[in-house]
Amino acid sequence: MHIHILGICGTFMAGLALLARAHGHQVSGCDAQVYPPMSTQLAEAGIEILPGYDPAHLQPAPDQVVVGNAMTRGNPAVEYLLDSGLPYTSGPQWLAEHILRDRWVVAVAGTHGKTTVSAMLAHILEQAGLQPGFLIGGLPQNFSVSARLGTGPVFVVEADEYDSAFFDKRAKFIHYRPRTLVLNNLEFDHADIYPDLAAIQRQFHHLIRTVPRSALIISHGTDAHLHHTLDMGCWTPVQQFVQGDWTTAEASPDGSAFKVCQQQRPVGRVEWGQLGQHNMANALAAVAAAHHAGVAVDQAVAALNTFRGVRRRLEQRGTVAGIRVYDDFAHHPTAIATTLHGLRARVGTERIIAVLELRSNTMRRGVFTAELAPALQAADEVLLFQPPELAGVLDPVAAAVGGQCFSRVDDILAALTAQLRSGDHVVIMSNGGFAALHERLLESLAQRH
């Protein structure tokens, strides 16, 4: 079967393309936004990526079109698709019908940490010899791909609350029907499709309604919004982490070492390269979920010692003359704050320079402008990218943190190159390509030195 994917370079759709290819289908796709790491792994898999959304990409007609949720009415390919009567479906529905059926689905949901917990789970299951399948919204460093079929019964899926497609406004995760469900946290996000937090909670409640009573829900024990969501109705046993069934003890200040406790009893120690309180919580969720999927607790904890993280999650991209450059997929003030506080706990008084690009619909709408300044407080210097279409949005943030706004990426590059010195940590935060600022900065610093 020939499957054509509209919006193939999104993190979810790129993974779907890899799964479809491994499932024996001919796969092609098109996209207007093509950048690594997703474009790279698609190219390495030999999957053709056509530029833009020309209707000619759908000629000759594929057997089925899988429509990414970035596609809207008015898009030339979408209009041609509807006019021509070609069979089409959403990505989550295709995944559920062709890949997840008859698998033990471990779904990881929440506003933050979905990618990291999913990657931890896949690594733990792999180390336990279970050969899991997975679809992760990022590139886990312990694997070479973001998705694979796997030969074992367990399939790990990052369960996103964003909508499924222009014709299916339900959250993606409604399709997955998990037997193990992680609820990592819950905050307001996705202001382009949800009017308020209550609307997101309603989608999480619908997800909970799909979980069998013989399954397990693993929920963050201190998250009041999750507690409220579970109180809306829950028919499945619940375990809690951070507070309750799964906790940590004897943790180092930066989160690089800690003990995992089950029912207050230590079951193993983690010493790893990750940092921050948020990653210790992520680890607890992963251990609990892996245990429910059949992995011994001590084996799950031991596996985390070799977990290498996820691309673009405070990923150190390089060091030049003692200046470290990191790439971080920041998309929300809470994620920004936890990342910077975790790094601060590790580097002490060394300078942290935060460089931020607003890319998510919610951030660009100014929904979190008031929260951005407090989120950036752990940084010593702040540089904000404010292109013409966002003129004025970030000026209050810059004023509050003593930072600077720039309308051109080239000007950010020049400012960084001029001011950085040995011992500095530059955290470049964006959930887009940011005009390849990371690589360009490393090259500029190399030339300077």
Q: Please write down the HEC assignment for all residues of 1-12.
A: CEEEEECCCCHH
pLDDT average, residue stretch 332-337 = 84
Query: How much is the pLDDT for 148?
Result: 96
Q: Where along the chain do its domains lie?
A: 2-89, 102-304, 315-448
Query: How much is the pLDDT for 80?
Result: 98
Here the tokens at position 288 are 């609990």
Class for domain 315-448, per CATH? Answer: alpha beta
Backbone angles phi, psi at 140, to 5 degrees: -70, 135
Band of pLDDT at residue 360, cut at 50, 70 and 90: low
Higher pLDDT, 88 or 432: 88
Angle between helices 297-304 and 114-127 (to 10 degrees): 120
Q: Which fold has domain 102-304?
A: UDP-N-acetylmuramoyl-L-alanine:D-glutamate ligase (3.40.1190)
Range with lowest mean pLDDT among 58-62, 95-99, 136-140: 136-140
CA 108 to CA 154: how far, in whole Å? 13
Q: Contact 285/184 with Cβ under 8 angstroms?
A: yes
Helix (H, G, I), strand (E, B) or coil at 252: coil
The per-residue pLDDT for range 106-124, each reduced to its tens digit, is 999 999 899 999 999 999 9
Report DSSP state, residue 162. S
Higher pLDDT, 189 or 53: 53
Q: Which are the contacts of 59, defined by CB distance < 8 A and separation ≥ 6?
A: none
pLDDT average, residue stretch 139-144 = 91
Count other Cβ atoms within 10 Å, centred on residue 169. 11
Query: How much is the pLDDT for 69?
Result: 92
The segment with the largest mean pLDDT, out of 98-107, 303-312, 359-368, is 98-107
Tell me what percent of the chain is helix, strand and coil, each rounded to the nearest 5.
35, 25, 40
Here the tokens at position 260 are 């995992």
Average predicted confidence (pLDDT) for the chain: 92
The per-residue pLDDT for range 247-284, each reduced to its tens digit, is 999 999 989 999 999 999 999 999 999 988 889 999 99
The per-residue pLDDT for range 386-434, each reduced to its tens digit, is 888 888 888 888 899 999 999 999 999 999 999 999 999 999 998 778 8
pLDDT average, residue stretch 59-68 = 97
Query: How much is the pLDDT for 202?
Result: 96
Band of pLDDT at residue 335, cut at 50, 70 and 90: confident
Query: How much is the pLDDT for 353?
Result: 96
What does pTM read for this prediction?
0.86
CA 239 to CA 245: how far, in whole Å? 6
pLDDT average, residue stretch 315-340 = 88
Residue 406 CB-half CA count within 13 A: 18
| Chosen CATH of 2-89 out of 3.40.30.10, 3.40.50.720, 3.40.50.300, 3.30.479.10 | 3.40.50.720
Here the tokens at position 204 are 């999480």
Here the tokens at position 186 are 């819950």
CA 94 to CA 89: how far, in whole Å? 7
Q: What's the length of the chain?
A: 449
Q: Contact 113/104 with Cβ under 8 angstroms?
A: no
Band of pLDDT at residue 130, cut at 50, 70 and 90: very high
